Amino acid sequence: MLPPLEKALFALAVLATAVLFLRPMILRIRIIAAGHSENRSDRPVRRLGAALGKILLQRCTLKNERPFTGLMHVFIFYSALTFDTLTVNHTLEGFFSGFSLLGHGRFRMFFALLTDVMAVLVVAGTLYFIVRRFLLRPKAYRTTPLDSAVIYAFLILVTASFLYYEAFAIAARGGARGYASLGNLLADAIRGAGVLPAAVAAHEHAGWWLHILLVFGFITYVPHSKYLHMFAGSFGMLVRQPGSGRIIPTLDLENSETFGIEKAADFSWKDNLDAFACMECGRCQDACPASRTDKALSPKMILVDMEKNLLAERKAVLARDRDAQKPLVPDVHAEDEIWACTTCGACMHVCPVEIEHIRKIVGMRQSRVLMESKFPAPLNALFRNLETNANPWGVGFAERGRWAEGLNLRTIADHPDAEYLFWVGCAGSFEEEGRRTARAFARLLTAAGVDFAILGTEEKCCGDAARRLGHEYLFQSLAAETIETFARHKVRKILTTCPHGYNAFRNEYPRLASGLASLSPEARAHFPRIEIRHHSEFLLELIASGRLKPAPGTGTRIAYHDPCYLARHNGLADAPRAVLRAAAGAPPVELADNREHSLCCGAGGGLMWTEETAGTRINHLRAGQILEADVAAVATSCPFCLTMLRDALVDKDRADVAVRDLAQILAEAAGLAAD
């Protein structure tokens, strides 16, 4: 197709494209590799299968958040695959006249039709995003407008140049080109216009060059744009860690010189990969309760600012010169950003490329707490109370078992052979509504004939809030004491009404038990054998087995609020609803955000004990959804959610809408005395 001189020029164009693409790509790969080591190579076959399934079937973007937008992205994705195949063919065609990667038979005819269909779809998808980003301008899209404009321009120009080339190529040959309906239609128009054969041939030649050079230009731009997510995001899904939102990496407090994430050098290679994988779609920002209530935090901007900083400090990052790097807080991320996160995991759940936001934010908190002793003032009292009395309220140890007065419960010390240990938790021990929940659950267990005991004054805080607020030392101290206590009493099964304790015991303590040097060998060996159950799933089993026989209510409209650490982080959404249905006599009313998409109450991440002053209070936003549902009551299965929702409804002068735990509602339905 090309004469010798043009072949030489084309070869230079290919070489220049390769250089301009590979140089920035190699730089970014080196930056990623400069992060500290982390093993993400386990279960390679399962990882590869899961990643390919999500990428090739586009399950990563076809989630039930923004479904239509996801469909438009699917159009562009499959169009890109089609045109990428075409680009390879055109490139080889430039060197080998008459070459066809697709052959010359029926498959090529069908591919011509596919290409025309994809050309229409990519233009439709691109126009949709242009309207959405530049005309509708939702909050989540108001970043990097120039980058978006360049990408959209390339997508349209590449597609238009292909149709230009295809139309004249078909016209030059005097017949139809396969099933390329759009190309054939345009070719017929060219013939009908009476364009001379020489001019048609010239246009075909120019169209070929125009299309391939635009494609090459787009390729060279990709490493500098958010379109890089095609590569970084795909690899990120291969090395993702399922459930990473519910687990904070354990710090080696004995052998490390620095703690948490203070500078770019403290990120792992996976963290650095995430920075380049971000699509900047803003789904995380739309889902984030802090962002939705006008706080400083945007999970999206955490990643965008990370990427900018890694590139700005690339020399120091590549040289692993930690001293030459600036502190991330407050130079890259503001204090208000990192302290606004509830660690609810909504950002990670909706992210198409499954970026791990939480551990980066908590890592920066760890640095501020452990290295700088800089944190919001209200946390001084919390940390002091946890250190001195092992509970957030600072109530003396002697008071921890008072919630059970009159219930004739035995402690594990008095009943060492108990099948279950009821872990009451701090809220169940000291907070008024939490105590009602604990008493209701204890009555249900007793009525069902469950063999259980409590720790009483031996129980201490599980440390969840301390860990997520960055005080890893305090968390490990509390956790180590608790693990030793479980081993000393040979605890076999644990029941808890608190999703935060449930998550800590089920997901974080096992990792800690295997690596904490201060633990005794007995404790280290014992903890992994303990079975952890949340009260919602256990109550459902008691109902299903007939050990509890509630008399269903009259069908009062009751909504159910899913706690983040139960439904989203641990996948427990069906059991609470089944319990509520059995107790109330009707399925629960679903709130606007429900199940794994539930809106956080605002208490997670330790924020139960901070002052929420910026924007709207998160629990007020959730209370608004409850009031919109027009219900008489709202049920939940977390003591923190119980407090936050109750307070918000009182603030809105709607104390008539009751907020109650599942255990309280079920106890009443079972005819058990209530407090």
Band of residue 214 on the pLDDT scale cut at 50, 70, 90: very high
Q: Output the CA torsion sign for 432, 435, 439, 441.
A: positive
Same domain, yes or no: 114 and 190: yes
Range(s) of the domain holding residue 337 = 268-372
Same domain, yes or no: 275 and 213: no
Which pLDDT score, from 0 to 100, does residue 48 have? 86
Which pLDDT score, from 0 to 100, does residue 15 have? 95
Which pLDDT score, from 0 to 100, does residue 672 have? 86
Which pLDDT score, from 0 to 100, does residue 529 have? 93
Residue 176 has pLDDT above 60, yes or no: no
d(CA 131, CA 148): 12
Same domain, yes or no: 365 and 395: no
Choose between 581 and 242: higher pLDDT: 581
> How confident is the model over 390-417, as pLDDT tens digits?
999 999 888 898 999 989 999 999 999 9
SS (H, E, C) 619-660: HHHHHHHHHHCCCCEEEECCHHHHHHHHHHHHHCCCCCCEEE
Burial (CB count within 10 angstroms: exposed 0-12, middle 13-18, buried 19+), residue 595? middle
Among candidate residues 519, 539, 559, the one where a domain is terminated: 539
Which pLDDT score, from 0 to 100, does residue 197 have? 84
Q: Is residue 186 part of a domain?
A: yes
Q: Is residue 454 part of a domain?
A: yes
How does DSSP classify residue 399?
G
Same domain, yes or no: 662 and 633: yes
Residue 283 sits in a domain whose CATH number is 1.10.1060.10
> How confident is the model over 480-529, as pLDDT tens digits?
999 999 999 999 999 999 999 999 999 999 988 888 888 999 999 999 99
Residue 582 sits in a domain whose CATH number is 3.40.50
Which pLDDT score, from 0 to 100, does residue 152 have? 93
The H or E element that residue 584 is part of is: helix 574-584
Q: Is residue 253 part of a domain?
A: no
Residue 348: CA count within 13 A, CB half-sphere:
26
Residue 472 has pLDDT above 90, yes or no: yes
Band of residue 141 on the pLDDT scale cut at 50, 70, 90: confident
- Give phi and psi for 243, each to the nearest 5: 75, 15
Question: Would you say how long the chain is, in residues?
Answer: 675
Q: Is residue 346 part of a domain?
A: yes
d(CA 340, CA 329): 14
Same domain, yes or no: 191 and 77: yes
Both tokens assigned to 315: 């020399």
Both tokens assigned to 653: 């002068």
Same domain, yes or no: 474 and 584: no
By the 8 A CB rule, do 370 and 379 touch?
A: no
Which pLDDT score, from 0 to 100, does residue 118 have? 84
Same domain, yes or no: 189 and 338: no
> How confident is the model over 316-367, as pLDDT tens digits?
999 999 999 999 999 999 999 999 999 999 999 999 899 999 999 999 999 9
Same domain, yes or no: 368 and 396: no
Among candidate residues 372, 406, 438, the one where a domain is terminated: 372
329: Cα separation from own chain's centroid: 22
d(CA 621, CA 292): 9
Among candidate residues 539, 557, 588, the one where a domain is terminated: 539
Tell me: cis bond preceding 330? Omega within 30 of 0 counts: yes
Same domain, yes or no: 535 and 553: no
Same domain, yes or no: 339 and 421: no
* One-character DSSP codes across 12-75: HHHHHHHHHHHHHHHHHHHHHHTSBP----SSHHHHHHHHHHHHHTTTTT-SSSSHHHHHHHHH
Bridge partners (DSSP) of residue 264 are none
Q: What is the mean pLDDT of residues 386-393?
A: 94
Same domain, yes or no: 522 and 594: no
Which pLDDT score, from 0 to 100, does residue 371 have? 94
Residues of the chain by 3-state class (helix, strand, coil), percent to 5: 60, 5, 35
- Give phi and psi for 381, each to the nearest 5: -65, -40
Query: CA 85, 91, 96, 102: dihedral to nearest 10 degrees?
Result: 10
Q: Is residue 619 part of a domain?
A: yes
Which pLDDT score, from 0 to 100, does residue 191 have? 80
What is the model's pTM? Answer: 0.90
Q: Is residue 255 part of a domain?
A: no
| Exposure letters 135-158 (e unless 16+ CB within 10 A, then b) | eeeeebbebeeeebebbbebbebb
Neighbours of 16 (CB within 10 A): 12
Mean pLDDT (the chain) is 90
Q: Is residue 141 part of a domain?
A: yes
Instruction: Find the range with the poorest average confidence among 74-78, 170-174, 451-455.
Output: 170-174
Q: Is residue 170 part of a domain?
A: yes
- Lateral strand order in the sheet of 531-534: 452-453, 420-423, 493-496, 531-534
> How confident is the model over 524-559, as pLDDT tens digits?
999 999 999 999 999 999 999 999 999 877 678 899
Which pLDDT score, from 0 to 100, does residue 564 have? 96
Band of residue 64 on the pLDDT scale cut at 50, 70, 90: low
Match 């968390």 to its residue by tokens: 475
Strands 633-636, 558-560: pairing kind: parallel
By the 8 A CB rule, do 556 and 656 touch?
A: no
Same domain, yes or no: 228 and 85: yes
Please count the structural domains in the chain. Answer: 4
